[in-house]
Structure 1
Amino acid sequence: MEMTGQSFSRYFVATLLLQMITPSSEQFTVNGIEGPILAPLGGKVELSCQLSPPQTAEHMEIRWFRNHYKRPVHLYKDGKDLYGETISNYVERTELLTDAIGEGKVTLRIFSVNADDDGTYHCFFKDGDFYEEAITEVKVTATSLETQILVHPPNTKGLLVECNSGGWFPQPQMEWRDSREETIPPSSKSHSQDTDKLFNMKMTLLIQSTHGNVTCYLRNPVTGQEEKISIVLSNKPFLWNTVWKLILGLILALPLTFTMASSIALHHRLQSCSCNALPPWLVGILIFLTSFSMIVSLIFYLHYRKRVPISDPHFELDVMWLEDMTVILCVLMVFITMIISSAYFRLRVKLHVH
């Protein structure tokens, strides 16, 4: 019995010493913040994680990293911060709050939040060969306060309204709405990112009839914050479009009808006249002008039907070309009318003389 008791005592002491040598914190889990954390652009954000069960983490390695373990955002090891091993983007922008490290809780504070800080963060605890981690998601948000609507001068295709807004993150939802809050399909929509990776939005709307109030809506998909700007459109800008369509119709109709009718009349008079009233070269010119006006009018009409989309960077040039061609065809129509009228009356005079 005595030997058995001594053996038991020795076993108990050995077991106790082994437990003292082996840290009690060998088994633990890490709990982070559930759900994404919103981080305002230019502000600061705090990410916390806690050991479970609570225990001191002063002797542990604590590492915060993004996608690569060997590229830490912040590193705590051997009881001190190792700033020299952090990636350059976070140098002097992070701070580890260790007030509650005796209970296994630490907090990473990030200053001057930028768009690159958006994403997931790993909170990593290592004690000897044992380690655990928790993952926290950060969503950087920025909402623009500089949204404007530009109204371009009325042109041959209608009234072009453009909405511009910059400084968003992430990319916002953008749409046009009428006075009844119903969505209007945009003519074009585009976006770009500046050097800070903030989104600059552009949306256009080609209006050919009045919509009353037109509103440009933008919404941050993360925070739900909305920005909007409205403009009231009158009927006056659309009068030019109506007038231009009438002018276009006349341009397409008059050269064809007048030149054809005049050419036929000249042809009949030349056949009924025994004298050589007109030289052959003049008759050739009239036929050439008739054919030329028909071809130009047809090309012009086909181009008008196949419009350059508003999203095309050459849209404004196309509109200017269309308006310039309208003026040119008007001048050409008057010129042809003068030539044919002069030839027609000259023929009548000669017929009366003979």
Structure 2
Amino acid sequence: METGPDSLFVTLLLLLHSSHSESEKFEVLGPTDVIAAVAGDDIILPCYLKPNISAEDMTVDWLNLDFLDGRVYRYQNHRIIRDDQIPSYIGRTSLFKEELWRGNTSLKLTRVQGTDEGRYKCFIKAKSWYDDFTIQVLIKAVGSKPVVSIEGHREGGMGLLCESEGWHPQPELLWLDSEGVHLSAGPPETHRDFKGFYTVKQHVIVQETDTNRFTCRVQQSRINEKIETEVHLPSELFDYATPLRMAFIVLCCLGGVTVIGLSLAICCIHNKKGNGEMI
């Protein structure tokens, strides 16, 4: 079988294409452990190519998979593409451009906040090949010391309010007596701000005890953190206390006024009768 110039040319093209395709193949790698970050810190999400070929002519996409339209960062055609970037990431993300030539596509994320928690995908695309890697990021934020305020007399005792802010993940709030026993309280109220940090507060009605000491505790088991505030209520606060006691006092006063009024009326009647007999 004769091999003509045309067939040799086609064979050469196929070999070149195969060689070029093989040279573009790569793996995208990163850490297998979860990345834990403290709110406010800067973090790096590692991602790199194996072999360490240049990514300067490739598309580098970073996505937060917990968002519906989750583009965190895009590098394409040697420039940053800001279209469709999640607004909360604007101005806080960057690549190490001087490292792209050796396959380092790690993302730097500054001033991390609660909404940054989630699963991140590092997606790298060349002309004829692509691969990706997913990283889990957890954010930790310890909130403020609980603030306890006295709301005044309520039916059955004294009303208290506890509030703490700046937590992530969402914490749990507990009311305790001086023996550490949980108190029955109202439903917790939770608010999450635009940065993903939680504020919690809860009302409770306490009754007078031997110590009048009560504790508000805010805790988050995943990050193993808890903060508490103890409050001591003077017994005098309970002396003016409950509506039932106030009602009793009012009834006693009314009863006293009634007795005095009847006594005066009886005296007047007796005086009138006495004057009538004298006449």
Give the distance between the partners of 2:68 and 2:16, measured in 1 at CA: 35
User: Could you tell me whether the CA contact under 8 Å between 1:155 and 1:240 is conserved in 2?
Assistant: no
SS in 2 for 1:112: coil
Aligned to 1:224: 224
Aligned to 1:304: none
User: Could you tell me whether the CA contact under 8 Å between 1:175 and 1:185 is conserved in 2?
Assistant: no
SS in 2 for 1:205: strand
Give the distance between the partners of 2:210 and 2:60, measured in 1 at CA: 60
Q: Report the alpha carbon displacement of residue 42 of structure 1 after superposing the two structures with TM.
A: 2.5
User: Could you tell me whether the CA contact under 8 Å between 1:192 and 1:200 is conserved in 2?
Assistant: yes
User: Could you tell me whether the CA contact under 8 Å between 1:51 and 1:105 is conserved in 2?
Assistant: yes
User: Does 1:59 pair with 2:71?
Assistant: no
After superposition, give the CA deviation of every residue in 1:32-79 in whole Å (9 maximum; x if it has no partner).
43354333333212112234565443332111123579763221223x
After superposition, give the CA deviation of every residue in 1:113-166 in whole Å (9 maximum; x if it has no partner).
233333332211112254332232333332223432223455664222322222
Structure 1 residues 240 and 250: alpha-carbon distance in aligned structure 2, compared to 1, 3 A threshold: closer
Aligned to 2:180: 181
Aligned to 1:306: none
Q: Report the alpha carbon displacement of residue 96 of structure 1 after superposing the two structures with TM.
A: 0.5
| Aligned pairs for 1:37-56 within 5 A | 37-52=35-50, 55-56=53-54
Structure 1 residues 74 and 197: alpha-carbon distance in aligned structure 2, compared to 1, 3 A threshold: closer
Q: CA RMSD in A?
A: 3.8
The one-letter code of the counterpart of 1:166 is E
The one-letter code of the counterpart of 2:138 is K
Taking structure 2 as the reference length, the TM-score comes to: 0.75
| Aligned pairs for 1:221-300 within 5 A | 221-233=221-233, 235-241=235-241, 245=244, 248-249=247-248, 251=250
Give the distance between the partners of 2:246 and 2:59, measured in 1 at CA: 81
Give the distance between the partners of 1:168 and 1:204, measured in 2 at CA: 19
User: Could you tell me whether the CA contact under 8 Å between 2:24 and 2:128 is conserved in 1?
Assistant: no
| Aligned pairs for 1:43-192 within 5 A | 43-52=41-50, 55-67=53-65, 72-78=71-77, 80-85=78-83, 87=85, 88-98=87-97, 100-102=99-101, 104-153=103-152, 157-192=156-191
Q: Which runs of 5+ in 2 are unaligned?
A: none
Aligned to 1:343: 265
Q: Which runs of 5+ in 1 are unaligned?
A: 255-329
After superposition, give the CA deviation of every residue in 1:293-317 in whole Å (9 maximum; x if it has no partner).
xxxxxxxxxxxxxxxxxxxxxxxxx
SS in 1 for 2:16: helix
Q: Report the alpha carbon displacement of residue 107 of structure 1 after superposing the two structures with TM.
A: 0.9
Give the distance between the partners of 1:231 and 1:166, measured in 2 at CA: 19
SS in 2 for 1:238: helix
Aligned to 2:198: 199
Q: Report the alpha carbon displacement of residue 247 of structure 1 after superposing the two structures with TM.
A: 5.7
Q: Report the alpha carbon displacement of residue 109 of structure 1 after superposing the two structures with TM.
A: 0.5
SS in 2 for 1:43: coil
The structure with the greater share of residues assigned to helix is 1
Structure 1 residues 246 and 204: alpha-carbon distance in aligned structure 2, compared to 1, 3 A threshold: closer
After superposition, give the CA deviation of every residue in 1:259-306 in whole Å (9 maximum; x if it has no partner).
xxxxxxxxxxxxxxxxxxxxxxxxxxxxxxxxxxxxxxxxxxxxxxxx
Taking structure 1 as the reference length, the TM-score comes to: 0.61
Give the distance between the partners of 2:155 and 2:13, measured in 1 at CA: 97
User: Could you tell me whether the CA contact under 8 Å between 1:39 and 1:138 is conserved in 2?
Assistant: yes
Q: Report the alpha carbon displacement of residue 98 of structure 1 after superposing the two structures with TM.
A: 4.6
Aligned to 1:310: none
Structure 1 residues 58 and 247: alpha-carbon distance in aligned structure 2, compared to 1, 3 A threshold: closer
Aligned to 1:30: 28
Give the distance between the partners of 1:187 and 1:84, measured in 2 at CA: 46
The one-letter code of the counterpart of 1:115 is G
Give the distance between the partners of 2:125 and 2:79, measured in 1 at CA: 15
Structure scoring higher RCO (CA < 8 A, sep ≥ 6) equals 2
Larger-gyration structure (1/2): 1
The one-letter code of the counterpart of 2:134 is I
Structure 1 residues 31 and 333: alpha-carbon distance in aligned structure 2, compared to 1, 3 A threshold: farther
Matched pairs, number: 272
Give the distance between the partners of 1:188 and 1:91, measured in 2 at CA: 37
Give the distance between the partners of 1:71 and 1:250, measured in 2 at CA: 65
Which portions of structure 1, spanning 4 or more consecutive aligned residues, are displaced by more than 6 angstroms? 9-12, 68-71
